[in-house]
Each structure stands twice: as C-alpha cells, then as structure tokens.
Chain A
Amino acid sequence: MLLKTFKGGVHPNDCKRFTKDFAIEEMPAPPTMIFPIIQHIGAPSEIVVKKGDYVKVGQLIAKQTGFVSANHHSSVSGTVKSIEAHFHPNGSMVDSIIIENDGKYDVFEDVKPAKPLEQLTDKEIVQIVSDAGIVGMGGASFPTHVKLVPPEGTRIDYVIINCAECEPYLTSDYRAMLEDGDDIIFGCKAIMKALSAPKCLIVVEDNKKDAARHLENLLKDEENISVVVVKTKYPQGSEKHIIFSATGRKVPSGKLPADVGVFVANTDTAASIARAVKTGMPLISRIVTVTGGAIKNKKNLRVRIGTPIRNVIEAAGGFVAEPERIILGGPMMGKGVFSIDLPVIKGTSAILAMTKEDLGINVVTNCTRCGKCVQACPMRLVPVTLAMHSKNENEEMLKKYHVTDCIECGACSYICPARKDPLQMIRVGKRYVIDRARMKKAQ
C-alpha cells in the first residue's frame, strides 16, 4: 500500500537509532535556573515577581500580555536571585528571571486538578491551557490557547496530533508516544472538546511503526481518534504538509489550518494539556533529546524549563569529541547557538552537539542547475531562481516566484550537490519582500 505523503521533500538519514531506545529520564534541576520572558511567539510576558521573592514549582513568574502571548511559571522552588538581561537561544539579550533552586520542589498551592474533563466547558479548557502557559512544543512555540479559539464561524473537522517528528536525530516525540500515550490521548480529547471537533488523527511517520501500534492499542475503544501512518520524509511534520498527507486538504497560501477546518498540535503539547487538566501543573518541563556525535551518553531527558544547556549536556555525560556546532532543535531547522550558557525554553526539542563528520562535507562548486532543489521543495517553489533574484534584490521577480510561500524547511540546501545553500539567500529575499510591503503600508 502506498503511504500517504506530499510531493517533494528529502530523505535525510534519520539518525534516531542513537537515542530511540532510551527511556525518558528525569533530569534533576541545577542550582541556578534562567527563565526568559520570551519563550513563545507574540508579545513578551510581564514579570510578576521581584528580586528576593520566594517562588514555588508551578508559580506564575511572568504573565501574558495581550491574547497572543503566554504565561511562564517557575519550574523549581527557590528565591529570585535577580532579574537581568541574559543571552537567549535566539541570539539576543532578553530580560530573564534568575532563580536560585533550593532543591525542595515545593509545589505552589494553586496547582490543583481541574474538574473532570466531562464537566469542563470549552471556555474552561481554553482558560486552563492559557493559564498553564502551553505553547506549541515542536519548535515554533505559538501559544496554543490562541489556536484553540478559531475565528468566528470556523468549523474544525479534524484535530491533528503531529507525531511525525520528521527532523533527524529527534526522538522526544517517539518516546512520548511510547511512555505518555495515555496523556497524549487525554490531550486529544481535551482539544476535541475545546473545539467541538468530531475527529482526531494522530499522524506518525512509518519509521516509528511500533509507536503507532502502541497508540492504536491504547485507542482500541475510541471511535473518533485514529492513528494515521504517513511516509517518512522531511518535512512531513510541516503543518501544511501533515494536513495534506493526513486529510488531503491544502492550506491556501497565506491562510491558516483553521481555514481548512484543521487544528494541529505537537505530541508534547497534547501531553502537556493533559497534565494541566489532570493535575493543574502548568508547563514547567519538556522532553529534550540530547544527541549528536560529540555527546557521550546520548539520551532523552525530561528537563525542567530554565535549565542551562551546560547542565543538560553534563547530565548526558559531557562531550567525547570537540563539538563543531551546537544546535537547539533538529538539524534541519534548529538554531545553532554560540554558547552553552543558555536556558532550555519551551520550544527546545533537542540539544545536538554535532561533530564535523555529522555536519557533512562542504565542497562548494558552481551551481550545475541540476534542479534537485526544485524537486525537493515541498512548497513547489524554484529555490535556485529565488536565490538568484534574492541576490539581485529583484522584488518583482521574487513576488512572481512566490518567495513568501517559502517555509524555510531547508530541503533545498540539504539536497544541493554544489552546496550553494539557496535557503540563506531566499531568507534574505523573503525578509526583503516582507519589509518592503510593510514600508509601503506605512507610507
């Protein structure tokens, strides 16, 4: 049987074997924790504690400002040491709350279970998700409660739980499916209830068939939730592409999944919603895959948000080789970071310490116009031409070639035999076109 998939895409070596068989370990929190006020897309949160305050696990330390924003909570108990600008994984200095961990892990008094799911209304569920500071945990970190309130008149037909985990090396979703299957399914039900959606699809790539089978077993008595196995291909986990693979619907350019009646959430997001409803505990920890050739004991860790990366790497046995590059997230779309003194935030799905060999050889030659980037582009764009027009800042041609449809998945740069890295140029062109449009609007 042909597996469901989309056109284009690439097949990188998935490298999941290094960590897929290691059960999630709880990582003890280090003495100092860093909580930046930006861990999400949207307005930065407002700090509600001050230096010297004593905070407990699950206590609100930064509250959302406006609708598209998110709450942040302390993941340890202890004293607020200082509030200062600290380096953030995005590369800039961001106001952060530094908390001295006292090691007691006293849970905040307000953390208590909500009513049973059956008795909750849709508004109450959205409120719980919003209070718990839950954001999309696949990497983009868009506040989940915003997506749970679709525009007036939109009907959601499908809730899709994105368990594709198409990024190489990452195994956090895979382990979550095997170990937190019940939470994921509970999360599905909560989301379906909040959106009054009739159907839920848990979408898994076919290189994780055992996890898919495990979920299917758990779902034996559920009529409305099913597991869909799709082809292993990058970027299968891209929102637009997973919707197409699972439902055959295409999200029109410039539109949102809600416009085609679909809601997409990440695996760990669904599990976090379940935890917030069941126990009242906000989002204070996440699964992080620590891997790459330079890491001694590659493993999956449950890390408290705010833990410095340095401590996470130490918990994985430190380095065995010189890391050439350290990446937060997957190797295709993750961010290369310049320091390991940065905190794990809500969107940090993995810490990869890559050696030179892991990164591959880069012998740049002339572009041979082989067109492999055109074949690989999941958005069906023409990367080589876009890169050329980006270089020339040719706004008209960039628009003609639909530069703003680029999802920056990196398939073109991955596949390029000449190592021309077209995505770098396209990013520049995309920014250029967007900035010009803004300038015109402002005038």
Chain B
Amino acid sequence: MENVLKVGAAPHIVTKHDTRSVMLDVVIALMPALLAGVYFFGYRAALIVLISIASAVAFEHIWNVALKKPTTIGDLSAVVSGILLAFNLPSTVPLWLPVAGSFFMIVIIKMAYGGLGHNFMNPALGARAFLLASWPSYMTSFTKPQAKLFPVLSPDFVTQATPLGILKEQSGEALPTYLDMFLGNLAGCIGETSKIALLIGFIYLLARGVISWKIPVAFAGTVAALAWVFGGDTLFTGDWLMHLLTGGVFLGAIFMATDYTTTPITESGMIIFGIGCGLLTMIIRLVGGYPEGGSYSILIMNVLTPLLDKYIIPKPFGKAAKKIA
C-alpha cells in the first residue's frame, strides 16, 4: 500500500489550554496583587518579586542542566512559584532571602521529588515555612504601607504589627479599618494585603476555568464561620470580617490552596480540603502560638491530600441510580 497515512487514537483534537497557558493565566491573575503590593510597599516589593522569580527559574534550569534533563522552565511553573514565594515575604527582607527561599522551594521541594506535579507540598509555602523557621526576625518585621510608588531610596521603614499580630499580643494598637483591609492598606506580606486585587485575580481564574470555586469558598467560609462562633469573647460574637480580611486567607485560599499538585482532584475532596484549611487556620489563630495559621494549615492539608485522594472514589454516573419500575 503506497502512501500510508499517520494514524492515532481518538480523541484527535485537544484543547488550546496546555500547562504553559494555564501557568500564564495564573501569572496574569497574580498581576493585580503584584501591582497593589508595589503600590503599598514601594519599589522594594517589585525588586523582591523579580529576584524571587529570577532565582526560581535559574535554580530549575541549573538543576535540569546539571542532571542532563530536558529543560522545563518553558512551562512557566517556576515563574508562578517565584511570584508566590515573594508574595509571602515582607517587603523589608534582605535581598538574599528570596534567593535562599527559591533554592529550598525549587531544589528541595520541587525538583528533588521529580519536578512539576511531584512535589508533596506547596513549594512557595514550604519555602516560607523554611524561611520563617530559619530567619524569624526577618520574616516577621512588617512595615507600614507607604502608598507611594517611589519611596525614599534609602528606605527608612516604619515597622508595624499586622492586625493579627496586634490581636495576638493584645497590644492595644489601633486596627486598620475594613476598607483599608479590603484595599490592602495595612501591614503584611507583599502579596497578601490587597484583598480586592486578589479577588480580581480569583474572578479571572474562575472565568478562565483554571481553578474551581470549591476550595477557596470552603476555606474562606470555614474561617468566617469559625471566627464568628469562636472569635469573640463570647460565642457568636466574633469579628468574622476582620478574620477574613486580614492575614493570608485570601492569598492562601485563592492561589495556594488551589495549587493543582498538592490539592485533591475530586470535588468532595476539594470541599474537605477547603474546610480542613479553614479549621486549622482558625485553630492556629485562636489557640496556637502564631498570629497567622493560613500557611501551616495549607501545608498540613497538602500532606493529607494523598489520603483524601485515596479514600474518596466518586460514584460513577448511573451507579447510584435506582431502576425505574
């Protein structure tokens, strides 16, 4: 038979969205929060994000070259990790800190376990936990937002406690208003303060079908419910809005707890994951030793994910149906 054609098995067509385009969508969704971070914390925030991205991509590339593996930086996952790591740092950290974080994030958590899709916990949060344990003083000195793009070049930072820190220490400092919390005009990490910017990113991700609403809504909903019930002096008097709008709940719920690799793949698994994150966050906030528990709660749920995926087997279509007489 002359001119034999190439064959292939169905389906013959594939969606336009591939790993790279999905990662690009996440990068785009992170842009409003990045702009807000730079607006509130000045050029230094941008510098830290850039260093973090560059070092994350560089470490991944060096790893592949050193182990003679095909290059994987084209999938843009290192860029996403780099941005998320920087978002979890205060703007005052020394410039070598994001590099150290990137090393732990890319080399230890991601590549040593097999690269994209094989890490057992969220790389950015794992690196944050590493940095927090190693250099706690750098990681917990937050500055007051300056709300101007180019502050004085030798930054003379005014440190300020985060609202959750104020609550924990019961220092009596004034809390920011809800509007400031929503816009991002409060002390905190670079990417976590502006809730409105994170929400814009959330809506973009939902519209593009990159993530599902289940984990973020379950996470935030649980935080709000528990804060309302247990957050006050007596039951059902807690300031749930304050708990929702401060700390890393938005950043964590939208961008960290929806990381594909370290979260369940089934719908009910996602709901349980979200509720678990919310529960652990509030336990750490209300009775734990740290002011903020978002990142640890996600890390704990990350390592529980294989169990969730193992024990949740969805019912197939038609399996539960009763015969119609």
Q: How far is the CB of B214 from chain A (nearest CB, A)?
A: 10
Closest to A362 in B: B14
Chain B neighbourhood of A331, CB < 8 A: 10-13
- In contact, B15 and A12 (Cβ under 8 angstroms): yes
Chain B residues with CB under 8 Å of chain A are: 1, 3-22, 72, 74-75, 77, 114-118, 212, 260-261, 263-267, 270, 309, 313-319, 321, 323-324
Q: Kindly name the residue among B11, B22, B317 whose own CB sees the greatest number of chain A CB atoms within 10 A.
A: B11
User: Does A92 interact with chain B (Cβ within 8 Å)?
Assistant: no
Closest to B314 in A: A380
- In contact, A423 and B321 (Cβ under 8 angstroms): no
- In contact, A360 and B13 (Cβ under 8 angstroms): yes
Q: How far is the CB of A43 from chain B (nearest CB, A)?
A: 25
- In contact, B12 and A252 (Cβ under 8 angstroms): no
- In contact, A333 and B10 (Cβ under 8 angstroms): yes
Among listed A53-61, A95-103, A170-178, A398-406, interface-contacting one: A398-406
- In contact, A327 and B12 (Cβ under 8 angstroms): yes
Looking at the complex, which one of A260, A325, A366, A378 makes contact with B12 (CB distance below 8 Å)? A325
- In contact, A401 and B5 (Cβ under 8 angstroms): no
14 A–B pairs (Cβ distance < 8 Å), ordered by A:
A240-B317, A240-B318, A241-B317, A252-B319, A252-B321, A255-B318, A327-B12, A331-B10, A362-B14, A370-B22, A371-B266, A374-B265, A401-B313, A418-B117
Closest to B11 in A: A410
- In contact, B7 and A338 (Cβ under 8 angstroms): yes
Chain B neighbourhood of A259, CB < 8 A: 323
- In contact, A405 and B10 (Cβ under 8 angstroms): no
Among listed A28-36, A124-132, A300-308, A381-389, interface-contacting one: A381-389
Chain B neighbourhood of A260, CB < 8 A: 323-324
Main secondary structure of the interface of A (DSSP, over half): loop
Closest to A367 in B: B117
Chain A neighbourhood of B6, CB < 8 A: 324-325, 336, 338
Interface size on A, residues (CB 8 A): 76
User: Does A122 interact with chain B (Cβ within 8 Å)?
Assistant: no
Given contacts A324-B6, A326-B5, A331-B11, is CB(A365)–CB(B19) below 8 Å? Answer: yes
- In contact, A402 and B319 (Cβ under 8 angstroms): yes
Given contacts A369-B265, A414-B15, A417-B15, is CB(A380)–CB(B9) below 8 Å? Answer: no
- In contact, B261 and A354 (Cβ under 8 angstroms): no
Complex Cα gap A87–B1 (Å): 10
User: Does A216 interact with chain B (Cβ within 8 Å)?
Assistant: no
Complex Cα gap A427–B324 (Å): 30
Closest to B22 in A: A417
Closest to A327 in B: B12
Q: Kindly name the residue among B18, B77, B267 whose own CB sees the greatest number of chain A CB atoms within 10 A.
A: B18
Looking at the complex, which one of B5, B118, B266 makes contact with A374 (CB distance below 8 Å)? B266
Looking at the complex, which one of A382, A402, A410 makes contact with B10 (CB distance below 8 Å)? A410
User: Does A315 interact with chain B (Cβ within 8 Å)?
Assistant: no
Q: Kindly name the residue among B13, B18, B263 whose own CB sees the greatest number of chain A CB atoms within 10 A.
A: B13
Q: How far is the CB of B269 from chain A (nearest CB, A)?
A: 9
Chain B neighbourhood of A368, CB < 8 A: 19, 22, 77, 116-117, 260-261
Complex Cα gap A375–B269 (Å): 12
Q: How far is the CB of A140 from chain B (nearest CB, A)?
A: 13
Q: How far is the CB of B48 from chain A (nearest CB, A)?
A: 26
Complex Cα gap A40–B10 (Å): 20
Complex Cα gap A341–B2 (Å): 10
Chain A neighbourhood of B8, CB < 8 A: 325, 336
Q: How far is the CB of A11 from chain B (nearest CB, A)?
A: 9
Closest to B13 in A: A331
Looking at the complex, which one of A10, A337, A402, A408 makes contact with B5 (CB distance below 8 Å)? A337
Given contacts A240-B317, A363-B19, A382-B266, is CB(A340)–CB(B11) below 8 Å? Answer: no
Q: How far is the CB of A107 from chain B (nearest CB, A)?
A: 35
Q: How far is the CB of A217 from chain B (nearest CB, A)?
A: 32
Chain A neighbourhood of B5, CB < 8 A: 323, 325-326, 336-340
User: Does A419 interact with chain B (Cβ within 8 Å)?
Assistant: yes
Looking at the complex, which one of B3, B72, B263, B314 makes contact with A382 (CB distance below 8 Å)? B314
